[in-house]
Structure 1
Amino acid sequence: MTIRRIHKLILFGVLSVLSSQAMAQNAPIFPKGELATTKTHVGDVWLSEVSGHDSTFTFSIAQAVFAPGARLDWHSHPGGQILLFTDGEGYYQERGKPRQTVRKGELVKCQPGVEHWHGATPTRGVTYLATSPAKGKTIWFKRVTDEEYGAKK
C-alpha cells in the first residue's frame, strides 16, 4: 500500500468520525414523546416528562416538541414556568404585549398567573424544556386565533 493510499484512508476515517459526531450533536437529547391528545392546542405537539416533582423536588421538567404551525391555547401557570428552547424557532406572547420570536438557546420566564401562549412558527418547528413548580395545574383559556398567531410584532 502506498503512502498516498494510507493518507486517503486516514483522511476518510477522520471525516467519517467527524461526520458521525456532527450527526450526534444534532440528535435530540430526549425522546420525542407521545402525541398530545388534549384539546388545548392547534397542530401536532409531542410531550414527554423528563422529571416529575416529588417530596424533595417540588418542580417538574417536561419536553414539548411542536410541528410547524402548532401552538398552545392561551393559558397561565399559578406558580409560573420557565421555558428553555433547545431547537427550532417559535413564538411566545403575553396577553396585551407583542408576540416575541424565540430560538434555540433562549429562555423565557412565564410569570405566575400571567396569561400567555407559545408554539412554533408557521414554517419551523420548535422544542423546549419546561420547568414548573408544583403550585397548581395549568389554567386554560381561549384558543389563540389565527389573527393573533399571525400578528406582526
Structure 2
Amino acid sequence: MKYCIKISLLFLVIIIAGCNMEKRTNEEISQDGFAFPKGEKIGSPNFTGIVWVQMMGAIDSTLHARYGNVTFEPKARTNWHSHPGGQILFVTEGKGYYQALGQAARLLYKGDVVEIPRDVVHWHGAAPDSEFAHIAISLNINEGGAVWIEPVTDAEYAQATK
C-alpha cells in the first residue's frame, strides 16, 4: 500500500508538471530556467534568505495533502521544523541540502527524492553556490500543519554544507 501511495504521488507531480507547462509560454520558461513557476517571494520568519513559493492544487483537498514548488536562492533555507503527517520532497532544480536533527546533512541534486517520516525535525534549503527548487508534499494534513521550531544558525548551516 505504501508503495502505491508513493507511485500515486509521483504520477500526481508528473501530471501537475504537464498542466503547469501548458499554462506557461516558452518565453516564461526560458526567463527563469525552472520547470515550475517560482511563485511569490515570501517574507516569513520560518525561512532564512530569499524564498519563493508556488502552491499547487486545491487547498481544500480530500487527498489530505498540500503541495507546492519552493525555490530557494543560494544559502536560503527553512527553519528546523517537523510535519505530523510526514513530507516528501521531489528535487526539481539546483543543488541543496536536507538534514534531520542529529544526523549528517544530505546533499541533494535534481531528481533526488526525500521521504521525511512523521514528526522528524529537519530543515532543507539551497547550497551556498546554487539555487535550489523542490516540490514539497505535506502528507496527512488533517493531522496538522508544519511545526516550526527555530532558525538553522549560520554555524549549523556552515557545518552541514562543508
TM-score by length of structure 1 reads 0.79
Match of 1:104 in 2: 110
Pick the aligned partner of 2:71 from 38, 50, 65: 65
Match of 1:144 in 2: 152
1:104 to 1:56, Cα distance in 2 relative to 1, 3 A: same
**Number of paired residues?**
131
Provide the secondary structure at the position in 2 that maps to 1:149.
helix
Contact 1:52 1:59 in 2 (8 A): no
Provide the secondary structure at the position in 2 that maps to 1:114.
coil
Please state how far the C-alpha of 1:54 moved relative to its aligned partner: 3.3
Q: What is the distance in 2 between the residues matched to 1:104 and 1:56?
A: 29
Match of 2:93 in 1: 87
Give unmatched runs, 5+ long, in structure 1: 1-19
Give unmatched runs, 5+ long, in structure 2: 1-25
Deviations along 1:10-57, one digit per CA (max 9) or x if unpaired, are xxxxxxxxxx9xx86x94222110011111111000001111343532
Point out the structure with max Rg over C-alpha.
1
* Superposed structure 1 runs of 4+ greater than 4 Å apart: none
Provide the secondary structure at the position in 2 that maps to 1:151.
helix
Contact 1:68 1:124 in 2 (8 A): yes
Contact 2:35 2:92 in 1 (8 A): no
- Identity among equivalent positions (%) equals 40
Which one has the bigger helix percentage?
Answer: 2
Contact 1:52 1:61 in 2 (8 A): no
Amino acid of the structure 2 residue aligned with 1:37: G
Amino acid of the structure 1 residue aligned with 2:134: Y
Deviations along 1:60-96, one digit per CA (max 9) or x if unpaired, are 2110000001011100000000000000000100000
